[in-house]
Amino acid sequence: MGFSTDIMHDFVAKEIRSIYSSFDGWTATVRSLEGGYNRVVILERRDNGHRECVKLLVSFGTDVSSHLLEELSIKEKSADGTPVRYSVAVMVPGNADTSSVPAGIPVYTMQSFSFDGKELVWVKKPVRKEQAAVAAT
């Protein structure tokens, strides 16, 4: 028996892995927020004897609420007692309002989802011209 995840989170997980690659030692732990689509991803790795932790807020809303930003201020504790280099980041769909995100916090834009007006849409990859030409014949 397997487990089921939302396809939206699968696309976002791929985007997160492209930024924080397991090749570079990053491991991810996912937590749901508020029972909705919002998630917090805790990314950790050891680098030159130090433990790094990035708390990444993933929001599918048109803006980032102050309640969600408060979640970023809660630091994760080290299980082994080593000092932690701690940072935070936010990931939102394209065209989302990020004006509430404080300066200095990196904001990543999802490549798979964007807002068209107030509607969240899936951004499909463009069809390559060669593939379109082969399909037309």
Assign 135 a pLDDT band (cuts: 50, 70, 90). low
Query: Residue ranges per domain, the chain?
Result: 7-136
Contact 27, 34 (CB under 8 A): no
3-state SS assignment for residue 26 = coil
Confidence at residue 1, expressed as pLDDT on a 0 to 100 scale = 41
Better-scored residue on pLDDT, 80 or 137? 80
Q: What was the pLDDT predicted at 83?
A: 79
pLDDT (average), residues 27-31: 91
- Amino acid sitting at position 70: E
C-alpha span between 117 and 14 (Å, rounded) = 25
Give the pLDDT of residue 19. Answer: 95
Instruction: Say what the pLDDT of residue 50 is.
Output: 82
At 74-116, the pLDDT tens digits run 887 776 777 788 999 999 999 999 999 999 999 999 999 999 9
Q: How confident is the model at residue 6 (pLDDT cuts 50, 70, 90)?
A: confident
Whole-number Å distance between alpha carbons of 94 and 111: 7
Average per-residue pLDDT for the chain: 86
